[in-house]
Structure formats: C-alpha cells, structure tokens
Amino acid sequence: MLFSSLLLGALHAMVPLTMTATGEILSERAGVVNIGLEGILLLSAFGAVVGAEAGGPLAGLVVGLGVGAILGLIHGVIAVYFRGDQIISGVGINILALGLVAIGIVWQWGVAGFHQVDRALRIPHLVTPLGSMSPMVIVTVLLAALTYYLIHHTNLGLQIQAVGENPAAADAAGVRVERVRLFGAVYAGALAGLAGAYLSIDWLATITRNLPAGRGFIALATVVFSRLNPFLAVVGGLIFGFFDGLGLLASTSREITQVVPYQFIQMLPYVVTLLVVTGVIGRARFPAASGQPYRRE
C-alpha cells in the first residue's frame, strides 16, 4: 500500500520534470539553452486554468501548450535572431511569469495568491492496479521516446545536432541554422507548457503564485543528469520525482512531521538534486555551440 502510493507519487512527480527536460534536451541539442522553464511552467499553468474554466480540461491543455510555445518562440527569437544573451532572456521569462501570474490570479478570481481548480475541470485519471493514475504519465514517456527518435533517427534530428555542435558546418551544408534552432526553442517551450498545464489542472489542481516551486530548475538538473538523452530524462525524472513525491507525502503525514519538521522534508528534492547533479555534471558532454549565438562571417 505504502509502496504503491510512493511509486504513484514518483510517477506523478516525474511528469513535469521529465516532460520539461525532454523539450529542453532537444533545444540544447540545437544550441538554445532556456533557463526560463520555471517561468514557462508557471505562466502556462495559469493559462491552463483559465482555458479549462472556459472550455474544459482539453482546452486547458491546449492553452497551456500554446502559452509555452509562444514563450519558447519569444526566447528563441531573442536568442537566435537577435543573438541576445540566453541567460538574461531566460531570467526575464522567470521574472515576467512571477509578476504576471500574481496579478493574473487577483484579476481573474479576485483572490490573492491561491485558486483551487474544480474537480470537474481536471484531466480524467485512469484506473490502474496501483490506483488512480494520470494519463499524462504515459504521454510523458511517449514524448520522451518520440523525442529520442526525432533526434537520432530523422533528418531533422541530424540537423538539430549539427546546428548545436558546429553551426558553421551546418550552414555550409545548406541547413537553415536559425530555423532549426528556433524549432528547438519552440519545442522546449511547448513541452514545458504542457507540463505547466499538468501541474495546475491535473496533479496539484491549484494555481498559486509559485506553483512550480523550482521544478523548472530541477528539470534543468534532469537535463544535465540525462546527458541529453530523453530516456535518461525519464530515469532522472523518476529519481527526482521520488523525493519530490516523498516530500509531499511525508509533509502531510502527522506521524512524520511530529518527528521531523516538514520544512526539512520539503528540502529533500532540492538537496537530492544538488547531490546528484554534482556527481554527474563533470561527465556530461554538451554540444560545442550550446548557448552560443551563431553569426555568419
């Protein structure tokens, strides 16, 4: 019983991390790094609630994905076409999201900081032997597999890798470097958007001013852990998700919080992330031109 609820907790916590990381893997393969994923999660989570309240859970998912894709597009245009600093652009998205969503919640529902999502507007769950499970768990694993195939078995994937490793060579071979990179940025945004929608209209069923609570950054850690392999992002998402789920479970259990203050339990996922990434980071090999704008001579 405890085991199945822990596993289910880990699977549900894996979804936002792995899905966001999967998109970012493709984007970083193409040479665009987006540290604004946290902000994209938050804004799309907000958008998804608004969408769901207007047209049901499916509309919520579509709006979340759309908001993410638009933010990814903005970041991509700044990074690729204006050759702006990708870190600054990403930080900008994070700050923008914090402000917009805080105001948005007040503006939309007249309350400050917190809005519960109606049960009827949530994504319907599947009945499994483990218990009630979100279909997004399956979608996440499928997206990871699809992304792996895209990168390693298609012509577009070859171009993505080429513009990330050596954009000048790709350019000389007739690849449209800017377009491929922009595709990567939009793809990462769209997947983060879907993950954001999952947070608000599925898993956590609320919208708050800080709903992702650092999951966008843990997704970045998952990218490092995965060494840009989407399947390893599933593994990484499960590891980080396990401690995330454990933290959520333990901090609501009275027996545990009487012994250990819940603040310490909630630190777990972040501490584990730091430890794991510290162990992995030296061995990861990232594309040579990742994060660097390409300028033709």
Q: Where do contacts with another protein occur on this chain (CB under 8 A)?
A: 152-155, 157-159, 161-162, 165-166, 168-175, 288, 297
State which residue, 187 or 240, has the beta carbon closest to another protein.
187
Q: Closer to another protein at the Cβ: 162 or 246?
A: 162
CB nearer to another protein: give 146 or 267: 146
Burial bucket for residue 205 (CB in 10 Å: 0-12, 13-18, 19+): middle
Min separation Cβ 223 and another protein, Å: 18
Smallest separation, CB 180 to another protein (Å)? 10
How far is 292 from 79, CA to CA, in rounded Å? 9
| Contact (CB, 8 A) for 15 and 203 | yes
Measured from the CB of residue 166, what is the shortest distance to another protein in angstroms?
A: 4
Q: Which is nearer to another protein, 98 or 150 (CB)?
A: 150
Closest contact distance (angstroms) between CB of 153 and another protein is 5
CB of 35 to another protein, least distance (A): 24
Residue 154 sits at φ, ψ, to 5 deg, of -130, 165
Greatest CA separation for the chain: 65
Q: How far is CA 43 from CA 24, 65, 83, 195, in A?
A: 17, 10, 24, 11
Q: What whole-number distance in Å separates Cα of residue 288 and Cα of residue 29? A: 10
Q: Indicate the residue among 52 and 163 with the shorter CB distance to another protein.
A: 163
